Amino acid sequence: MYTKIISQKLESLKESGQYREFVTINRIRGQYPLAQSVTQKSTEQVVVWCSNDYLGMSQHHIVTEAMHDAIRSLGAGSGGSRNIGGTHSYYTALESALAEWHGKEAALVFPTGYGANDATLQCLLRLLSDCIVFSDERNHASIINGIRSTQAERMVFRHNDVEHLEALLVAQPFDRPKIIVFESVYSMDGDIAPIQKIVALAKKYNALTFLDEVHAIGIYGPRGAGIAAELGIANKLDFIQGTMAKSIGVIGGYIAASSLLVDVIRSFAPGFIFTTSLPPAVVAACHASVEYLKSSDNERIVLHQKTNTLRDALIRAHIPIMASSRTHILPVLIGDAKKCKDAAKRLLEQHHIYLQPINSPTVPIGTERFRVNVTPNHTKEQIEKLAFALTEVFHYFGISFSHEQDFLNA
């Protein structure tokens, strides 16, 4: 009986074009964004266009040398949770660096960004009696899961709609505990939240603010500290959440806040207390990358320059970039799950370009897309080749170009 139920679920996923398959991509050390695509039939060199390693820091010699040095000093594993013996001096350095980066009193590192969101939100919503949470409708799955894992009342406001948010807030008693959870850069649309307006509403209606900056840190703001820092309002946010798995180029998540708020999460969050900590080599690499990005603007400058070059190349080719994009993330609308998956396969096999199809439930049905982002390491030739390849694939599968159908506001 169980086999039949499960098989039917998987078959339904395959028929809808939403079934996910792994593609083996072995990145070539020191040559990113080049990688080896490995199949049963062959091994081909490909160009990666959808990695979250936005600045290529995973390949930087400062980061890899810090990792090697830590392994030579402390070995491979951490030995357990932070409370049982899995903490070490690299953690102290990293958390101090993260707190200083965001202008906060303290920071707390988790094994992943998903875990940082999930564990922190669950903890807060269970500690604050009768708390109500207000969540942007396009928040990440880690945020949604953290909220849904509690019995707290939740209100979902329309994406980046401060008028809708205020209508929900005004209906609640002023003294009722409230948390507003949102992101700065939304990774599937490439847009930016109205952070200043949301912060103003939080102050007006007595709410805590929890801002996910994972797709912004390292790239925006002074020293890469994020959108809130760019706007000069990081000090007005109660929690800033980030990751070391994207621009920082390694792995791990964190929160930065007041010493009191960080201590309560450290002391009460099961998702922090009972999980094995990151290995010393990973923490050391994260610290080296953060400190480097605080002092070097070059990677950010080149990224933004090449993003503009890529955007211009796609526009000239009439490739439909969704109008929401205001950042380094360029969502290219396909609008059909099967075509999106087939187009990705053709790009890989015929053009040696790796782009992952983004289908439901990650994005709404009918807005299936490629999430394209350049890095400082991509060349002008590679950018032009991507535009050519997308043009060929759009023609091959009958996907609408921007001048044929108005997909841009999807």
Mean pLDDT of 189-217: 98
Q: Calculate Rg over the CA atoms of the chain.
A: 22
Length of the chain: 410
Mean pLDDT of 371-386: 97
263-279 pLDDT per residue, tens: 999 999 999 999 999 99
Question: Could you give phi then psi for residue 115, rounded to 5 degrees?
Answer: -65, -35
Model confidence, pTM: 0.95
- Distance (Å) of CA 126 to CA 119, 149, 153, 200, 366: 11, 10, 11, 25, 37
Long-range CB pairs of 153-161 (<8 Å, 24+ gap) are: 159/186, 160/136, 160/191, 160/193, 160/194
pLDDT > 70 in the chain, percent: 98
Distance CA 63, CA 1 (A): 50
Give the pLDDT of residue 405: 61
pLDDT above 80 for 161: yes
More confident residue, 253 or 86: 253
Give the pLDDT of residue 40: 67
Helix (H) or strand (E) holding 353: strand 353-354
Q: What letters, b where the CB count within 10 A reaches 16 and e where it falls short, cover 113-152?
A: bbbbbbbbbbbbbbebeebbbbbbebbbebbbebbeebeb
Name 122's Cβ contacts closer than 8 Å, sequence gap at least 6.
Answer: 146, 149, 150, 269, 270, 271
Q: Which of 213, 306, 276 is nearest to 84 (CA)?
A: 276
pLDDT above 80 for 408: no
Burial class (CB in 10 A: 0-12, 13-18, 19+), 209: buried
Place of tokens 């083996």: 24
Strands (E), 207-305: 208-212, 239-243, 253-257
DSSP three-state, residue 135: strand
- Distance (Å) of CA 107 to CA 92, 223, 261, 365: 10, 17, 9, 38
Distance CA 400, CA 53 (A): 30
Q: Which of 398, 337, 343 is nearest to 362 (CA)?
A: 337
Active-site residues, by number, are: 246
Strand pairing class (208-212; 239-243): parallel
Q: Which of 285, 283, 284, 281 is nearest to 76 (CA)?
A: 281
Give the pLDDT of residue 9: 93
Q: What SS3 string covers 281-314?
A: HHHHHHHHHHHHHHHCCHHHHHHHHHHHHHHHHH
pLDDT band, very low/low/confident/very high, at 109 (cuts 50, 70, 90):
very high
CA 128 and chain centroid, separation: 27
| Residue 282, amino acid | V
Give the pLDDT of residue 330: 98
Place of tokens 């505990």: 177
331-363 pLDDT per residue, tens: 999 999 999 999 999 999 999 999 999 988 889
Q: Which of 408, 380, 377 is nearest to 315 (CA)?
A: 408
pLDDT above 80 for 17: no
Distance CA 53, CA 247 (A): 5
Mean pLDDT of 218-237: 98
